[in-house]
Structure 1
Amino acid sequence: MAKIMYFLTVFFIILHVPGIFTEQENPDACPIRKFNPLGQTCQKACTRNQECGLKRRCLCDGDCGLSCVTTTRSCPWPVNIANAKTGLVKGTRNFGDQMSVLCHPGFKMASGQETALSRCQGDRKWSVITPCDVLDPVKSCDVPHTIENGFLMENGSTFSVGTSVHYQCNLGYALEGHKVTQCMENTTWSQPAPTCRQIFCPPPPEVKHAYLLAIQKSEYAVFEEINYLCDRNLDMDGSHNVTCEANGNWSAIPICRTRCKIPAQRSRVVYKGSKRWVHEIPGTVHHLEAVTFFCLNQTCSYPATSQCFDGILSLPSCYEEPTWIQYNFFPKNIVSEITPCTEL
């Protein structure tokens, strides 16, 4: 994998360096010879091959311009450059061939580059042999302060200038102070570390017709639970178990509801899935329980349901209470006893 990455990097450099492979073939693209080019010994200047003799050719030699060079001459190999890896682009090291220079991670050249191509010159020297030096150290802040009952949302041991970190408190604690702080140019944090304050709930409220099963305290910790119980013959609407939540409030408080009496006396009703006379139903109907009555539709009966809600069970508007005579002498003619309309 390392070799693959190396050759991909070299290929990328070649694609993005202008003028590669063109200076020698196109004399017009060759620069004018500089006087005493830095780090290079120039060969005889020329304009065409005839000026160079039999063994040399008039080719572009970098800053030396068009020069008489021996193409079979080679540059030294291998080449060791401090803190860098070198490689031959084509596998050869003759005049005009190229060597890649890749600085090791954390190093760069004096020019600021981390990669470069070096060319084999007419004087049999490589054009670039600049060592790679260590990068300028990045300014960073000390590790942010930890907080009791809280934590930093970012991990790491190095926090460079401009980096922001976020504090968060554990469940059951509220953050006081600044949630976010940033590493500034002077390598200090912009805000002091916050604190985490424990959250408490106040004493639970009283519930009418109920009593509390809990130790009486002035405050209750998050997730602490209490229980309510309704007085006898009352139904609890909601959960009897109440919890102190993370926002400092209690979960839903229950209500004690009154049970209902069935307002009919001389009829059969459907209660808890069975049809029975009212006097056969013991006690009262629980809160939210349903009772089905029967109404008259000419010669047949149809059901009409009513629900108990906090002591009130209303008779359906279509319901008519049988008379004492009907109930005692003609019970089979009572509406609840005649043929249902669904069977006709």
Structure 2
Amino acid sequence: MPHSAPLILALLCLLLPVGGNKAKGATQPGPCASWREESTTVNLANQTCQRKCRHDRDCLGRRQCLCDGACGLSCVIPGRSCSWPVKVENAKTHLVQDTHSFGALMEVTCQTGFIMGAGQGAALSRCQGDRRWSLTPPCRRDLSLASCGPPPDIDHGFHHGASYRAGQEVQYQCKRGYQLEGVDTLQCQENQEWSGPAPVCRSMFCPPPQAVAKGYLVAVKKAQYRAGEVIYYLCKRGLLMDGSNRVMCLQNGTWSPQPFCRARCEVPAKRSRVLYQGMKLWVQEIPEGLVQHGETVSFYCRNHNQTCSYLASTRCFDGVLPLPVCYNEPTWLQYTLYPKRVVSEIQSC
């Protein structure tokens, strides 16, 4: 087909790619961040955006309109390089390709025992148009792996807590008779060291206990008593102990509350019955005519019209039983000649 040869040659010329660099004015191919409205340089986090553009003709000199990451289409010099080598804390770096010019990628890999914020061990960084590498998450110690050695032991005390991983705590406590000085809690830190020195357990003592009025102290006499030691008190016969007879030397060097020996009370009514322990009794019917400390006795009082009686109560406190203001003790003559008219014997109101 001699006549078809020129047509075939023409088609081949159209299909063959054009060699050489990108022609001036061509747009940057591929996806890129949305085009910026600003016409000047803009600062982003860790990146300075160059002049915005749509085409190479928008740029001056050797600059071309290229995609510059978050800055979008910008006027940059393709041959510009970022610094190399790069040191990243707790990480290793290497170039993905053998170049560190604009657009090159650097892989940042965390060292053993470290991870990035999202839990990954590596990330890519890109050489930007401002000749800086894009930010990657910092490599922090992997707390799930870091742990401390056993916490220090202390004399006369112990610690609680079985896990020694980073972020975990142990708590110290002293044995009875000792008081803790210092911080009672230590924490395992990211550097696999405990947060501070261990506390100290100091011996605690109490001075000799005070005597109790109308009572006895049951204890070995000493110049001082160790915390946790116990002594006992007894009251003299006929007295009631108010409080615990057992007193302990506390961790702060003081004694627990001491008891009191309280006296019984004499009922000050001779010619009238009273209400005691739920029974209406003559005073002579109460053993020894005495009631215990803290007990209540009710006396009979006349109403204003002197026609009936009502009860008024009072309480014994350490030997004193005050009479109600309304109570009037019958005279001997009233009690002897008219016993049925005594206040406790008339009808109740």
Please state if 1:313 is matched with 2:321. yes
SS of 1:332's equivalent in the other structure is helix
**Range moving further from structure 2, 283-292 or 216-225:** 216-225
Unpaired segments ≥5 residues, structure 1: 1-18, 43-61, 66-99, 120-132
Please state if 1:332 is matched with 2:340. yes
Report the AA paired with residue 296 of structure 2: A
> What is the CA-CA distance between 1:223 and the residue it aligns to?
2.8
> What is the CA-CA distance between 1:202 and the residue it aligns to?
2.4
Aligned to 1:34: 78
Report the AA paired with residue 294 of structure 2: L
Aligned to 2:230: 225
Aligned to 2:297: 291
Cα distance in 1 between the residues matched to 2:103 and 2:274 = 115
How far does the alpha carbon of each residue in 1:3-51 deviate from its partner, in whole angstroms, 9 at most, with x for none?
A: xxxxxxxxxxxxxxxx99438xx98553667349886599xxxxxxxxx
Instruction: Indicate which of 205, 211, 226 corresponds to 1:200.
Output: 205
Cα distance in 2 between the residues matched to 1:191 and 1:41 = 48
SS of 1:336's equivalent in the other structure is coil
Report the AA paired with residue 334 of structure 2: Q
Asked if the contact 1:142/1:159 (under 8 Å) is kept, the reply is no
Please state if 1:149 is matched with 2:159. no
Cα 1:229–1:20, aligned 2, differ >3 Å: closer, same or farther?
A: farther
Cα distance in 1 between the residues matched to 2:294 and 2:335 = 29
> What is the CA-CA distance between 1:154 and the residue it aligns to?
7.3
Asked if the contact 2:166/2:187 (under 8 Å) is kept, the reply is no
> What is the CA-CA distance between 1:292 and the residue it aligns to?
0.7
Asked if the contact 2:80/2:102 (under 8 Å) is kept, the reply is no
Cα 1:222–1:178, aligned 2, differ >3 Å: closer, same or farther?
A: same
**Range moving further from structure 2, 33-42 or 202-211:** 33-42
Asked if the contact 1:33/1:64 (under 8 Å) is kept, the reply is no
**Range moving further from structure 2, 293-302 or 189-198:** 189-198
Asked if the contact 1:143/1:158 (under 8 Å) is kept, the reply is no
Cα distance in 1 between the residues matched to 2:298 and 2:239 = 22
Instruction: Indicate which of 19, 25, 32 corresponds to 1:22.
Output: 32
How far does the alpha carbon of each residue in 1:129-155 deviate from its partner, in whole angstroms, 9 at most, with x for none?
A: xxxx998xxx99986642212345777
> What is the CA-CA distance between 1:106 and the residue it aligns to?
2.7
**Range moving further from structure 2, 259-268 or 327-336:** 327-336
Cα 1:105–1:340, aligned 2, differ >3 Å: closer, same or farther?
A: farther
Cα distance in 2 between the residues matched to 1:39 and 1:276 = 108
Overall identity of the aligned pairs, in %: 48
Cα 1:203–1:104, aligned 2, differ >3 Å: closer, same or farther?
A: same
**Range moving further from structure 2, 239-248 or 150-159:** 150-159
How far does the alpha carbon of each residue in 1:67-124 deviate from its partner, in whole angstroms, 9 at most, with x for none?
A: xxxxxxxxxxxxxxxxxxxxxxxxxxxxxxxxx9986863579xxx9433599xxxxx
Cα distance in 1 between the residues matched to 2:115 and 2:234 = 76
Cα distance in 1 between the residues matched to 2:226 and 2:176 = 11
> What is the CA-CA distance between 1:321 and the residue it aligns to?
0.9
Cα distance in 2 between the residues matched to 1:21 and 1:115 = 24
Cα distance in 1 between the residues matched to 2:140 and 2:301 = 97
Cα distance in 2 between the residues matched to 1:316 and 1:214 = 43
Map of 1:209-248 to 2, 5 A cutoff? 209-248=214-253
SS of 1:215's equivalent in the other structure is coil
SS of 2:300's equivalent in the other structure is strand
Aligned to 1:250: 255
Please state if 1:278 is matched with 2:283. yes
Aligned to 1:303: 311
Taking only aligned residues, the RMSD between alpha carbons, in angstroms, comes to 4.9
Report the AA paired with residue 295 of structure 1: C
Cα distance in 2 between the residues matched to 1:313 and 1:101 = 90
**Range moving further from structure 2, 277-286 or 237-246:** 237-246
> What is the CA-CA distance between 1:268 and the residue it aligns to?
0.4
Asked if the contact 2:308/2:346 (under 8 Å) is kept, the reply is yes
Unpaired segments ≥5 residues, structure 2: 1-28, 34-53, 56-64, 69-75, 82-94, 127-138
Cα 1:39–1:289, aligned 2, differ >3 Å: closer, same or farther?
A: closer
Cα distance in 1 between the residues matched to 2:98 and 2:209 = 94
SS of 1:335's equivalent in the other structure is coil
